[in-house]
Chain A
Amino acid sequence: MASILLPSGTVEGREGLDAYRTRGGYVALDTALKSLSPEAVIEVIEASGLRGRGGAGFPTGKKLALTRECPEKPHYVVMNGGEDEPGSKKDRVLMENVPHLIIEGVILAAYAVQAEKAYLYINGHYDTATTSMDEALAESKAAGYWGENVLGSSFSVELVTVAAPSNYVAGEDTAALEVIEGKEPLPRQKPPFPVTEGLFAKPSLVNNVETLANIAPILAKGAEWYRSFGTAESPGTMIFSLGEDVNRPGIYELAFGTPLRHLIEECGGGVKGGKKLKAILPGGPSSAFLKPEQLDVPLDHNSVRAAGSSIGCGVIKVFTEDDSVFDETLRIAEFFAQESCGQCAACRMETNMLVTLLKKFQQGEGNEALMEQFGKVLAFNQGKGFCSLINMPGPPIESAIRLFPEEFLASGE
């Protein structure tokens, strides 16, 4: 198992400052402040090919450069630890166990974009993770890693935590900015993007917890070392979350490009009860279903996309012969209808209409003509919302119809 973020072996509780320093922690920060310009830090991240781990996979180096280039001041960094994706627990585990790894990444990112303040936005239900981050913040401040004149340099940065509401859209990057500004968690219309007009309308770098956790290892060991993991377009590792549907649920850090089969069979110990696999959702509820024949797909952005789905933030769910893909599709549609924040009319209409359509099938009133309506409703509303929630029910619903049409027509029987 490739390991960049999670120390080999089992992590038991929060890794303290001494333990983190014993394995080389904060050396990258010290080195960067003494010998690297902010531009040079960004160059290393760009060369590493690091991509965002929050779901979209945007190149992190590019995001850093875009934020840094904005003449408007001050700049801000936001660590997005909202983690509201159902089944995702990677950010929680990282915050609980290796808070200093994340904090060092946040400080390095702040240095790279010359931010004077970084907000650590943490899911409000994550009590242990919040305590872990708070304690690590106190330790790192006392050691001079953040605050006025970090490690004797001219760079100063303040780190503060903000509790995130635990509804789905609160994890959307601009909704996070709204919450930090003291407002309701409602996504903003984009553009403008946060890199130019983010927190308090200033240039802001918003990155997922796992993304930021990669920054210190990259600077400590170099872009070339980082690229020795994963694939050319998806370098490094990703933390995948497996649920109760496999024999060994949990989170697994794997190099990008590892076959899905390895994750499910070797890491997860196979499907629970030795049942026959029927379908896989490789990237959370907004990804498209895959069939068992696609089990050898390499887990990286391009390969999973070529297979017709997406890797999202690495939440993988499997379905057996005993499970109904139709029922799961309805649950997903109901989830998005419930989590739609309601500010965009098209999203309200679309998410509700999809549930209504699926319920017709559930009640045994489905037919071919009704099946064709899903695509029309989805196409009509595509991209009509402020955030991407409006596009999320599409892949699971359309793939379920394409791969398991018989379940739709039989669902009401």
Chain B
Amino acid sequence: MFVSSLIEGIVIGSLYALMALGSSLVYGLLRILDIANVAGLVLAAYVGQDVFSGTHSLPLALLAGIGSASTLGFLLQRLLYRSLLGRSPIVPLIASVGVFIAFEELFRLIFGPYELNFPASVGLPSFHLGGNLVTGVELLIVLVGCTVLVATWAFIRFTRVGLTWRAVAQDRETSAAMGIRTSLVMGVVFVIGYGLAAVAGVLLAINYNSITPTMGDIPAYKVLAIIVLGGLGSPLGTIAASMLIGLSETFVAAYWGFVLPRDSIAFILLIVVLLLRPQGLIPGEPVRA
């Protein structure tokens, strides 16, 4: 049971990390908790499923999902968030919640209330590890998760563009004064952030073979917990928090059953960690006011 719980926890943690990383990047840059990022996750699942139904090509489905979610992210930052930047942080948060709720109903109206399935074969073999079956999809989630997370971290840490992002995150006005096109940086971060959510959305839909208009409910508030628990504005912290939550949920279920609502575990951990370490697991870089 320990090995299977460990594997299950790593898979779930990888999914959480992919879900939360986009929002973490956005927060790191703009100090906006963007719940609407999860609307991008759900949109990508629907678009990906639609494209897969017509083409039976998973790469095309993924690209379509990423394209649709990234477009949504770009439009939201352009039409909504930019005008809210100077306001109190609660204002864009409430706006993003409103956008998310509106999109939930939009998905129901466009795609219908019924669950859709995404029975895609990912081309990877299932195998037994420690007596437990690991499916091809679960393997793909872990591989994609690791690749994306490492690539994102390396991009931010070692590239010139990443340096630009960090500069804008630290001080937007000074960055603009230094010649950095902050509006372009914002647009790119949203495009990439929503693209990451899209990858999570498509993998989530394939793994559970299920897409519903309300599939973003739980990720929406869990992403909040992950970002805060990991350390606001810290992608590494987001990854650490995702793994911690994924493993905790799985081990609690394995040894004590559903003694607690699964989703409450993330918030219990959040409270405990913040009491002991208010800055989160791996704090982000300090921001000049």
A-B interaction: no
